[in-house]
Amino acid sequence: MCLFQVIRKAFTEEKHVSTKTSAADLVTETDRLVEDLIISELRKQFPSHKFISEEATAAGAKCELTASPTWIIDPIDGTCNFVHRFPNVAVSIGFAVHQELEFGVVHHCMEERLYMARRGHGAFCNTQRLYVSKETELSKALILTEIGSKRDPATLKLLLGNMEQLLLAKAHGVRVIGSSTLALCHLAAGAADAYYQFGLHCWDLAAATVIIREAGGIVMDTTGGPLNLMARRVVAAGTRKMATLVAQALQPINYGQDDQA
C-alpha cells in the first residue's frame, strides 16, 4: 500500500488522537506512521541527507536547517481535519540545500492533486502549470489564513483583530480551510490573492513556498522582509503590492522560532 492509500484508508477509520502543545494541536498514529515511512524510504536513497519533520520535532529532535541537503516533512498537514474526516488533508515535503528551498511536493490526499515545483522549473498541479493571481487591491482580494494552535485570550484577540482589519479594508473574504499547506497551494493556483499566518511551522511552509514562488508569487516575512522559514510567520501573495498591503494590516503574534523551541 502506498503512502496516500495509508492516509485514505485511515481517514475513514477510528483514530487514536493525542495532543501536543495545546488541546488544538493534534497527532494520530497515522501521522507518525506516514512520517516514518517517508523518512525510511528517503534515508535508503540519500543516507547522508538530514531531516526536519513534524513528529520527530514534537518528540524532541532538533529542528535545525543547516547547509546540508535537508528534507522538511509534514506527514499529514491538516491533522485536525483528518481527525474529523474533513477532507483537506495533505502530505508536504520540501527540500533545501545551503538553506535555499530547491523543490517541494504537496499531495492533496483526498482529491488526488499533486502540487509540485522545482526552483527555476515552474509550478504544477498534476500536469497543469500554476500561476498566481495578479490582484493588487485589498478591496478585491480573497485572503486565506489559518488559526494556529494557541487559544489563550490575548492570542485570539490579535488573531481576530487581524481578520477584522482585513475585512474592514473591504477584502472580499477571509477563508480558513484547516491546512496551511493546502491553503498556500490554492494561492499558488490563483484561487486566492493572499495568505498570512502567525504560528505555522517550517514543515507547513517549505514545500508550498517553492510552489508559490515558481507560480510567480511572493512569500515573505510579516515584517515585509525576506522569509525566515523558522520564524513561524508568513505573508504570501500573487503580487508584492498585495503582500505588502496585507502585512501592513497585521498585528504580530509571537509564536517563537522553530529552531529555538
54 binds ligand IPD (CB under 6 A): yes
- Least CB distance from residue 82 to ligand IPD, whole Å? 7
Q: Where are the alpha helices (DSSP H) in 12-142?
A: 29-45, 54-58, 79-84
Query: In degrees rounded to 5, what are phi and psi of residue 99?
Result: 65, 15
- Least CB distance from residue 57 to ligand IPD, whole Å? 11
CA angle 224, 206, 9 (to 5 degrees): 140
- Least CB distance from residue 149 to ligand IPD, whole Å? 6
Query: How many Å apart are CA 96 and CA 209, to the nearest integer?
Result: 11
- Least CB distance from residue 179 to ligand IPD, whole Å? 5
Query: How many Å apart are CA 167 and CA 161, to the nearest integer?
Result: 10
What residues between 202 and 231 interact with ligand IPD by CB under 6 A? 204
| 56 phi-psi bin (left φ>0, alpha ψ -120 to 50, beta other) | alpha
Among 35, 55, 77, 214, binds ligand IPD (CB under 6 A): 77
Instruction: Return the number of the residue (204 or 214) whose C-beta is nearest ligand IPD.
Output: 204
Q: Nearest Cα to 105, choosing from 67, 65, 77?
A: 77
78 binds ligand IPD (CB under 6 A): yes
Query: How many Å apart are CA 22 and CA 204, to the nearest integer?
Result: 17
Nearest-CB residue for ligand IPD: 146
- Least CB distance from residue 188 to ligand IPD, whole Å? 16
Residues forming a β-bridge with 129: 124
Q: Annotated active-site positions, please?
A: 54, 74, 76-77, 79, 204
Query: How many Å apart are CA 189 and CA 161, to the nearest integer?
Result: 28
Query: How many Å apart are CA 244 and CA 247, to the nearest integer?
Result: 5
Q: What binding mask, one character per residue, do residues 131-150 give for ligand IPD by CB under 6 A, x or -?
A: ---------------xxx--
Q: How many residues does the chain have?
A: 261
Query: How many Å apart are CA 46 and CA 5, to the nearest integer?
Result: 24
What residues between 155 and 184 interact with ligand IPD by CB under 6 A? 178-180
Among 15, 32, 150, 201, binds ligand IPD (CB under 6 A): 201
35 binds ligand IPD (CB under 6 A): no
94 binds ligand IPD (CB under 6 A): no
Among 93, 200, 245, 253, binds ligand IPD (CB under 6 A): 200
Instruction: Return the number of the residue (154 or 176) whose C-beta is nearest ligand IPD.
Output: 176
Instruction: Return the number of the residue (110 or 239) whose C-beta is nearest ligand IPD.
Output: 110
Query: In degrees rounded to 5, what are phi and psi of residue 155?
Result: -65, -45
- Residue found under cell 520527530: 56
104 binds ligand IPD (CB under 6 A): no
Enumerate binding residues for ligand IPD (CB under 6 A): 54, 74, 76-80, 146-148, 178-180, 199-201, 204
